[in-house]
A and B are shown apart, each in its own frame.
Chain A
Amino acid sequence: MIDLIIEMLSYPFLVRALLGGALVSLCASLLGVSLVLKRYSMIGDGLSHVSFGALSIALALGWSPLKVSIPVVILAAFFLLRITEKGKLRSDAAIAMISASALAVGITATSLTTGMTTDISSYMFGSILAMSPWDVGLAICLCGVVFGLFLLCYNKIFAVTFDENFARATGVKVSWYNVLIAVLTAVTIVLGMRMMGAMLISSLIIFPALTSMRVFKSFRGVVWSSGILSVVCFCIGMAASYRFSTPAGATVVLVNLAAFLLFMGTEALGRLVHSERR
């Protein structure tokens, strides 16, 4: 076990993947608590597909992928948030439509120019080699911002997540927080996507919050548990992926699924003990 870890840390690209990935997972899970509880989980999924479309076009045109996709995905985040907030159009259907369209645009743009190269495949399903030193730097900055937000505005985030209307009536700038969370989610997704894959990245947002909600009864507990769980699951997933030569993104998702089932079992067990004691 120890040998495996030492062996992994001897490859610089793996160290970068571990560090960058863990930070991105952490950000995704914290933002995910708010998104999942507000029933905005679909936004994460929609953004990852838009991000894929933007990346493919950037690649086809030979532009820098990050510089194109970050602004595009942030714009998409604004747009998806508006659709969901208005609630007039069937928002879940609208997001699904946008996801599929963005994916289609990406695939078409690619096949017209370079063809389905390994790059595209790694964007779809993730590649452990994707984290450049520059990406890791960006992940550290992002993590700083998300941490600062949760530390300084924790109570406001709670109020906005629990009850938007009440928060608004007591003078909290609700739309500002919604936009901020959506923008941070957009950056998180773009950063994590190339490692986790466009198809899998939204699981980083959704799984930790859902898993924690099985067992923890307080908002504070759910936030802490999600953060810790996401990093632990990511590291276990990376080690397993290295040991068994499986794709990194898929392995991390499977570890998250295992954690979810474990927590669900714990919850059921707790309920059983509780009812027996009565």
Chain B
Amino acid sequence: MSALITCSHVDFGYENHDAVIDLTMEINEGDYLCIVGENGSGKSTLIKGLLGLLKPTAGVLDMSGELRRTGIGYLPQQTAAQRDFPATVYEVVISGCLSRRGNRPFYSKKEKKLAMDHMEQLGIADLKGRCYRELSGGQQQRVLIARALCATRQLLILDEPVTGLDPWAIQDFYRLIRKLNKEEHVAVLMVTHDVASVVEQASKILHLKQRVVFYGTTKDYKASQAGRLFLGGETG
């Protein structure tokens, strides 16, 4: 098993303020890692750092060659502008192939097939020509996952993916992610507020409060002091 991303003693932050301090962790193939923490604990900053949108101010961030070449499959928080964006499902999904393109202007047959395959896998092939803004929240998430998978099948980074979904769609979403992780061996890194349901899913937990409060397996987290406090009474 090889590491996809390795952080050793990494700091991330803006000009004169570090939002993440002394972080050491790694993401391996097939991992399902959840990042939890309160608002302002540095979760979003960490994601930006992992995506390469922010340079580490200290420490070493190492990425496997494959990831560096294709970029990371990323599921961002939805912006207001996207909700009324005129684009078909197909247009959105295939834009995930962009990193494979380099500077060639048009998509090849192979990439078009890749996009179709991923749409079928996620059960949205029949929505191909539909307008993205007319879909339900759960369907939109599926479209964005298909796009992310077009970029890479190695690692998905999800930033608060269930915000704004209804309970049924949330369960559906978790099942889908779990299936991708178990059957397709896609490594998953998820930032979430929905701690209670996530500890049932994830294999590893990173609890962040500027510094690392806890990093380890989900089982150990439930037993740890930090985990018990954060999960409240729900796990006893």
State A152–B86 Cα separation when bound (angstroms): 21
In this assembly, does A163 line the interface, its C-beta being within 8 Å of a C-beta of chain B?
Answer: yes
State A213–B52 Cα separation when bound (angstroms): 33
State A155–B131 Cα separation when bound (angstroms): 17
A155 to chain B, nearest CB (A): 6
State A104–B134 Cα separation when bound (angstroms): 44
State A35–B170 Cα separation when bound (angstroms): 33
State A148–B84 Cα separation when bound (angstroms): 27
Contact partners of A221 in chain B: CB under 8 A: 86
Contact partners of B129 in chain A: CB under 8 A: 218
Assess the B91–A158 pair: CB atoms within 8 A: yes
In this assembly, does B223 line the interface, its C-beta being within 8 Å of a C-beta of chain A?
Answer: no
Partner of A155, one of B70, B88, B105, B134: B105
Partner of B105, one of A152, A163, A166, A220: A152
State A139–B169 Cα separation when bound (angstroms): 51
Partner of A159, one of B79, B84, B98, B148: B98
Contact partners of B91 in chain A: CB under 8 A: 158, 218-220
Interface residues of A in 132-146 (CB under 8 A from B): none
Known: A165-B76, A166-B74. A172 touches B87 (CB 8 A): no
In this assembly, does B7 line the interface, its C-beta being within 8 Å of a C-beta of chain A?
Answer: no
Known: A169-B53, A172-B98. A213 touches B105 (CB 8 A): no
Residue of B nearest to A213 (CB): B86
Known: A159-B98, A218-B131. A154 touches B105 (CB 8 A): yes
Among A38, A171, A219, find the residue whose CB has the most chain B CB atoms closer than 10 A: A171
Assess the A217–B88 pair: CB atoms within 8 A: yes
In this assembly, does B101 line the interface, its C-beta being within 8 Å of a C-beta of chain A?
Answer: yes
In this assembly, does B92 line the interface, its C-beta being within 8 Å of a C-beta of chain A?
Answer: yes
Q: Bin the interface of chain B by size.
A: 35 or more
In this assembly, does B1 line the interface, its C-beta being within 8 Å of a C-beta of chain A?
Answer: no
Among A38, A153, A165, A169, find the residue whose CB has the most chain B CB atoms closer than 10 A: A169
Contact partners of B130 in chain A: CB under 8 A: 217
Contact partners of A154 in chain B: CB under 8 A: 105
Contact partners of B106 in chain A: CB under 8 A: 155
Assess the B107–A219 pair: CB atoms within 8 A: no
Partner of B81, one of A39, A156, A170, A216: A39
CB 8 Å contact bits of B179-207 with A (1 = contact, 0 = none): 00000000000000000000000000000
Contact partners of B147 in chain A: CB under 8 A: 166
Among B53, B85, B96, B106, find the residue whose CB has the most chain A CB atoms closer than 10 A: B85
Assess the B86–A218 pair: CB atoms within 8 A: yes
State A217–B132 Cα separation when bound (angstroms): 8
Assess the A169–B52 pair: CB atoms within 8 A: yes
In this assembly, does A75 line the interface, its C-beta being within 8 Å of a C-beta of chain B?
Answer: no
Assess the A162–B53 pair: CB atoms within 8 A: no
State A167–B71 Cα separation when bound (angstroms): 10
Residue of B nearest to A155 (CB): B98
Residue of B nearest to A156 (CB): B98
Contact partners of A163 in chain B: CB under 8 A: 76, 79, 82, 95
Assess the B95–A162 pair: CB atoms within 8 A: yes
In this assembly, does B33 line the interface, its C-beta being within 8 Å of a C-beta of chain A?
Answer: no
In this assembly, does A222 line the interface, its C-beta being within 8 Å of a C-beta of chain B?
Answer: yes
Assess the B72–A169 pair: CB atoms within 8 A: yes
State A133–B22 Cα separation when bound (angstroms): 63
CB 8 Å contact bits of B64-75 with A (1 = contact, 0 = none): 000000111010
Interface residues of A in 148-195 (CB under 8 A from B): 151-156, 158-159, 162-163, 165-172
B152 to chain A, nearest CB (A): 9
Residue of B nearest to A40 (CB): B81
Assess the A155–B86 pair: CB atoms within 8 A: no
In this assembly, does B99 line the interface, its C-beta being within 8 Å of a C-beta of chain A?
Answer: yes
Assess the A171–B99 pair: CB atoms within 8 A: yes
Known: A155-B105, A162-B82, A219-B91. A168 touches B51 (CB 8 A): yes
A-B contact pairs, 16 of them (CB 8 A): A151-B105, A153-B105, A154-B105, A159-B98, A163-B76, A163-B95, A166-B74, A166-B76, A166-B95, A167-B95, A168-B53, A172-B98, A213-B84, A213-B86, A218-B86, A218-B129
3 nearest A-B residue pairs (beta carbon)? A217-B131, A170-B71, A170-B99
Q: Which residues of B does A touch, CB under 8 Å?
A: 51-53, 70-72, 74, 76, 79-82, 84-88, 91-92, 94-96, 98-99, 101, 105-107, 129-131, 134, 147-148, 151
Beyond A163-B76, A169-B72, A217-B86, 20 additional contacts (C-beta under 8 Å) are: A38-B81, A39-B80, A39-B81, A155-B94, A155-B95, A155-B106, A155-B107, A162-B85, A166-B74, A166-B95, A170-B70, A170-B71, A170-B98, A170-B99, A171-B71, A213-B84, A213-B86, A217-B134, A218-B129, A219-B87
